[in-house]
């Protein structure tokens, strides 16, 4: 989790990541001026649209102050979309790909059904780009 000194731009670094199932993840707030969250898109978390695999456990880091961190391990193969609650409309979203298409139980990205604002949807890196590169930094950073 990062941001510019004046707070006019905030982002996850990386914004897109491909990992194997069971890989431990750690979100660290490296932004000296803002608190952030790492929050899965799931109906049980703030009644958000489902944008993680159906069998996956949702998460919400709660607000992390500068220097604080949050850890989790994703085991269900598929596409996980998440956001920073206070900065979602600023495009602070991310996508984690667990496993690969073709893995047993793998669930692709949620259909673009108008569940999020167009600016937010446009901020997600594509599944194909993440799978090809393994790691994607935020656009314009």
- pTM for this predicted structure: 0.95
Q: Which of 28, 34, 29 has the alpha carbon at shortest distance from 7?
A: 34
The mean pLDDT value of the chain amounts to 93
Structure tokens belonging to residue 106 = 């793998």
Alpha-carbon distance of 44 to 47, in angstroms, equals 6
- pLDDT tens digits for 25-60? 999 999 998 999 999 999 999 999 999 999 999 999
Alpha-carbon distance of 123 to 95, in angstroms, equals 10
Contact 97, 127 (CB under 8 A): yes
The SS3 of residue 83 is strand
Top CATH class, 2-136: mainly beta
């Amino acid at each position: 989790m990062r941001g510019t000194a004046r707070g006019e731009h905030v982002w996850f670094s990386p914004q897109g990541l491909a990992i194997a199932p069971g890989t431990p993840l750690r979100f660290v707030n490296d932004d000296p001026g803002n608190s952030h969250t790492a929050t899965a898109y799931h109906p049980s978390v703030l009644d958000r649209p489902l944008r993680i695999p159906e069998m996956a456990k949702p998460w919400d880091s709660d607000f992390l102050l500068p220097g604080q961190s949050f850890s989790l391990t994703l085991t269900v193969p598929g596409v996980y979309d998440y956001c920073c609650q206070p900065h979602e409309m600023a495009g602070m979203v991310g996508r984690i790909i667990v496993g690969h298409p073709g893995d047993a139980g793998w669930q692709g990205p949620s259909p673009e059904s108008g569940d999020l604002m167009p600016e937010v949807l446009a901020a997600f890196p594509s599944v194909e780009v993440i799978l090809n590169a393994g790691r994607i930094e935020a656009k314009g950073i």
